[in-house]
Amino acid sequence: MISQTRYTPLNAFLAYLQFEKRYSVHTITAYSNDLIQFFDFVETQYEGISVTQITGTIVRSWLAGMKEEEMTGKTLNRKISSLKSFFKYQIQQGEISKSPMETVISPKVSKRLPVFVAENDMEQLLTNLAFAEGWKGYTEKMVIQLFYATGMRLSELIQCKETQLDIPKRIIKVLGKGNKERILPISPALALELKKYINEKPAAANGNPYLFVTEKGKALQPRAVYTFVKFYLSQVTTLQKKSPHVLRHSFATHLMNNGADLNAVKELLGHASLAATQVYTHNTIEKLKEVFAKAHPKA
């Protein structure tokens, strides 16, 4: 349940995000933090003004203050996005006729290319690396395999239930952002391994619906998954970032590098727009440059 704030217009907006847009708690909390910060600023600097009196100038002065604190362009853009959504909602509710955000320009942010693990390093990780003993190591290996085989997000994998897995059909139904369902194929070998994993679950897991469980039969915690993914990736790569999301990037990049269709990769990742997936084409271009340099007589 999302906790109430002391700003009534904000509470109505957060309830709309929760019950109508069906956003995750994590996303709503991010919106809430950004907007509380903005309303605190308005209350301090412009005491007594209502939502209908907020102007683009007020928003820009708030953003300028954060820029002086050396906040990154990416963070500022997220805060601008939160405000745009809030004022769009106010228009829908008939509270205002025009958004103050129309005159606010988002800072340009240079797009960072997704960090990914090389194909041979992933092969090394899954084939030659020794995982921890017992159920703990077994679970950790299966989690890493599934991340790389499907490109799932961390939240999707942790929340994945046994009932979402159809072993005969070799598919997993995933509930993604905004409660959107997508179907992911898995290889025959991975389907068999997951079947074996389910059959060998500890007795303590009886009644736990989740696919992956600890030796005590409990659901996996995000922090624990981060920790072991980072540990195993550090054995095979010198990348600075070693998070579960890097495995998602690796999944998408390796698909693209091996000729997968961009629209198909978009569907597999559960992206709402093609623009989000297109970032992976940059890595493909780098790969093509390498091939060209090695193979073309005039390169």
Per-residue pLDDT tens over the stretch 239-282: 999 999 999 999 999 999 898 999 999 999 999 889 889 888 87
Q: Which residue from 84, 73, 273, 89 is spatially nearest to 177, judged by alpha carbons?
A: 273
CB 184 within 8 A of CB 172: yes
- Shared domain for 92 and 144, answered yes or no, is no
Residue by residue, DSSP assigns 87-124 as HHHHHHTTS-SS-GGGGPPPPP-PPPPPP---HHHHHH
- Shared domain for 25 and 88, answered yes or no, is yes
- Shared domain for 70 and 13, answered yes or no, is yes
- Shared domain for 175 and 229, answered yes or no, is yes
The residues annotated as belonging to the active site are 153, 177, 245, 248, 271, 280
Q: What would you report as the CA-atom Rg of the chain, rounded to the nearest whole angstrom?
A: 23
What pLDDT is stored for residue 178 in this prediction?
75
- Shared domain for 206 and 80, answered yes or no, is no
Average pLDDT, the chain: 92
204 is a domain residue:
yes
What CATH number corresponds to the domain at position 285? 1.10.443.10
Per residue in 9-42, pLDDT (tens digit) is 999 999 999 999 988 888 999 999 999 999 999 9
- Shared domain for 57 and 124, answered yes or no, is no
- Beta-carbon contacts of residue 3 (< 8 Å; ≥ 6 apart): none
pTM of the model: 0.73
- Shared domain for 144 and 286, answered yes or no, is yes
- Shared domain for 129 and 190, answered yes or no, is yes
- Overall domain count for the chain: 2
CB 116 within 8 A of CB 254: yes
- Shared domain for 263 and 183, answered yes or no, is yes
What pLDDT is stored for residue 1 in this prediction?
60
CB 232 within 8 A of CB 140: yes
What CATH number corresponds to the domain at position 19? 1.10.150.130
Residue 164: give the domain boundaries. 119-294
Q: Give exposure, 118-154, as e/b (b: 16+ Cβ within 10 Å).
A: eeebbeebbeeeebeeebeebbbbbbbbbbbbbbbbb
At residue 186, the 3 state secondary structure works out as coil
